[in-house]
Structure 1
């Protein structure tokens, strides 16, 4: 147990890096990390380096595994199942695709064009930006394994329930006709060599880092400001655990923003440090990743208003329920 704790602290939380950055700030910059400026610089440098190290290792590994499941093979696997088992599988497959919500929509179009049930594709669409294997490790590095696993479980439940409700609602007619008309040509999957898979993983890593680096910097910057510059009583007045409306505010504040989980985690870390409830923080993260305005605008191009409204309503209600549940029972995880 002691070995696991040491590995968790040094490999995930990277306490060695925190100590190194603290030494840099104090000895080289001549600032105290106990003061606002020094603390902000320490927070920013430590979180940026830590997230990029973890992100690089995790995305490369996940992409290598993902090379065994190209879209054509994924569609074949999903096509063998139906009902709730298909929704569960769609949600699980979403966890091995480290995409933001906008990047997931082309795959959603491909799955729908291939004739997969609408509910299954929505389970995938909800799960893919909300829950991925990298988020488990990053959440554990900031909070702990209990929080990370609980987040993944509720995210998967939301994806399965959301997809099932959409399936039962029979809303296939509310998908734009061109999506169904976009025929997919089945081609044999060429067997990749180990070198091909490594190159694929490298390309995926470069592509994802290019897309998310700015959001990571912005997220860490906001987190540093919250952590060191915004008084706790101001945050508590809006998002304090004793405020019944905090989950609602956090969920809807996240909607206009566009980022993935990597950019929202530093903000979540700072908010929890300031005493914001765990459920409120998770609602904010889910609102940003699953309901961002840019992704809703893109989704509107492929589905009609009624289907978009059902999707938004189901996911929003699910996030709010999850937020209040974590605020009530979150103390069991911390």
Structure 2
């Protein structure tokens, strides 16, 4: 148990990095890490470096595994399952794809074009940006493994439930016709060499880092400001654990925003430290990542308004329920 805790603190929480940054802030910059300015600089440098290190390592590992499961093979695997088992598999496959919601939509189109049930593709579309291995590891590095694993479970449950509801409602006619008429050319995946898989993984790391770096910097910057400059009394007066509307507010504030989950994690960390309920910050994170405005605009081009409205409504209600549940049972996880 002691060894696991030590490895967790050093490899995930990177206490060694925190200590190095503290020495830099104090020794080179001459600032007290307990002061507002020194604490902000320490928070910013430590979180940025930690997130980029973990993100790069995890995306490389995930992408290497993913190189064995190209879209063609994934579609074939999903096509062998029906009913809720297909929704579960679609949600689980979404967890191993390190995509934001906008990046997931082309795959959603491809899966639907290949004849997969839309309920299954929506399960994938919900889980892909919401629950991926990299974000779970980062969540554990900021909070703990109990919270990270609980987040995985509720994220998958939301994806399966959302996809199942859409499937039961028989909404196929609300998918734009060009999606079904899009001819997909199936090609046999060449056997990649180890070198090619490594190159593919490195390219995935660079591609995803290019897409998310700005959101990480913005998110960490906001987190540093919240953590060191905004009084706790102000935050708790709006989003405190005793405010019944905090989850609703966090969800509806998060939905129209566009950021990556990696950029929202530092904000979540700072808010929890300021006394905001765990469920409230997780509802914010889920709203931002699963229902971002740009992804909804892209999705509107391939589905009709009724299906889009049902999708947004189902996911939003699910996020709100999850938020209140986490607030109520947070004492079991902290």
Counterpart CA distance in 1 for 2:144 and 2:69 is: 30
Residue 115 (structure 1) aligns with:
115
TM-superposed deviation, 1:148: 0.2
Counterpart CA distance in 1 for 2:156 and 2:165 is: 14
Counterpart CA distance in 1 for 2:260 and 2:175 is: 26
Residue 329 (structure 1) aligns with:
329
TM-superposed deviation, 1:306: 0.2
Residue 3 (structure 1) aligns with:
3
Residue 43 (structure 1) aligns with:
43
- Cα RMSD, aligned residues only: 0.5
Counterpart CA distance in 2 for 1:17 and 1:177 is: 53
Residue 12 (structure 2) aligns with:
12
Residue 259 (structure 1) aligns with:
259
SS at match of 1:31: coil
TM-superposed deviation, 1:161: 0.2
SS at match of 2:214: helix
TM-superposed deviation, 1:187: 1.2
C-alpha deviations, 1:19-54, integer Å up to 9, x for none? 000110011000001110000000000000000000
Residue 303 (structure 1) aligns with:
303
Gaps of 5+ in 2: none
TM-superposed deviation, 1:261: 1.0
Counterpart CA distance in 1 for 2:298 and 2:188 is: 30
Give the number of equivalent residue pairs.
334
TM-superposed deviation, 1:160: 0.1
Residue 193 (structure 1) aligns with:
193
Counterpart CA distance in 1 for 2:74 and 2:231 is: 48
Counterpart CA distance in 2 for 1:6 and 1:77 is: 39
Counterpart CA distance in 2 for 1:328 and 1:228 is: 27
Residue 149 (structure 1) aligns with:
149
If the length of structure 1 is used for normalisation, what is the TM-score? 1.00
Residue 30 (structure 1) aligns with:
30
1:61 aligns with 2:64: no
Gaps of 5+ in 1: none
Correspondence list, 1:284-323, <5 A: 284-323=284-323
SS at match of 2:55: helix
Residue 80 (structure 1) aligns with:
80
> Deviation above 3 Å: which 4+ runs of structure 1?
none
TM-superposed deviation, 1:236: 0.5
Residue 206 (structure 1) aligns with:
206
